[in-house]
Amino acid sequence: MSTPRTIETRQDNLFRNRLSTQLNPKHPLFMLCHLIDWQGLEAEFAALYQAELGYPPLPIRLMVGLMMLQHMEGVSDEQVVRKWVENPYFQYFCGYDHFQWDLPINPSSLTRCRQRIGENGVEKILAATIQVAKEVGHVSEKDCAQVIADTTVMEKAITHPTDSKLLNRARENLVELAKKHALDLRQSYKRVGRAAFSQSCRYGHAGQYKRMAKQVKKLKTYLGRVTRDIERKLKQEQRPFFQDLLDKFNRLLVQTKDTPNKLYSLYAPEVKCIAKGKAHKRYEFGCKVSLVVTHKQGLVLSSQALPENPYDGQTLKSALSHAEFMSGVKIERSFVDQGYKKHGIEDSQVVMARQKGLSRSLKNALKRRNAIEPHIGHMKSEGKLDRNYLKGKSSDMI
Question: Residue 333 carries which side chain, given as an amino acid letter?
Answer: R
How does residue 51 score in pLDDT terms, banded at 50, 70 and 90?
A: low
- Asked whether the predicted pLDDT for residue 1 surpasses 60, the reply is no
Residue 381 burial (C-beta neighbours within 10 Å; 0-12, 13-18, 19+) = exposed
pTM of the full predicted structure? 0.84
Percent of the chain with pLDDT over 70: 96
In this prediction, residue 106 carries a pLDDT of 92
Residue 76 burial (C-beta neighbours within 10 Å; 0-12, 13-18, 19+) = middle
How does residue 295 score in pLDDT terms, banded at 50, 70 and 90?
A: very high
Of residues 49 and 340, which shows the higher confidence score? 340
Handedness of CA 151, 157, 160, 161 (dihedral sign): negative
Domain with CATH 3.30.420 in the chain: 139-158+271-397
pLDDT digits (tens, 9 = 90+) for 4-29: 777 766 666 656 788 888 899 999 99
The CATH classification number of 139-158+271-397 equals 3.30.420
Percent of the chain with pLDDT over 90: 55
Handedness of CA 187, 188, 194, 196 (dihedral sign): positive
In the predicted model, what is the mean pLDDT of residues 377-394? 88
How far is Cα of residue 272 from the mean position of the Cα atoms in its chain? 14
**Highest-confidence segment of 72-81, 189-198, 250-259:** 189-198
Task: Please tell me whether residue 262 adopts helix, strand or coil conformation.
Answer: coil
- Asked whether the predicted pLDDT for residue 197 surpasses 90, the reply is yes
In the predicted model, what is the mean pLDDT of residues 186-203? 95
pLDDT digits (tens, 9 = 90+) for 238-278: 899 999 999 999 989 999 888 888 999 998 999 999 988 78
pLDDT digits (tens, 9 = 90+) for 94-133: 988 888 899 999 999 999 889 888 888 999 999 999 999 9
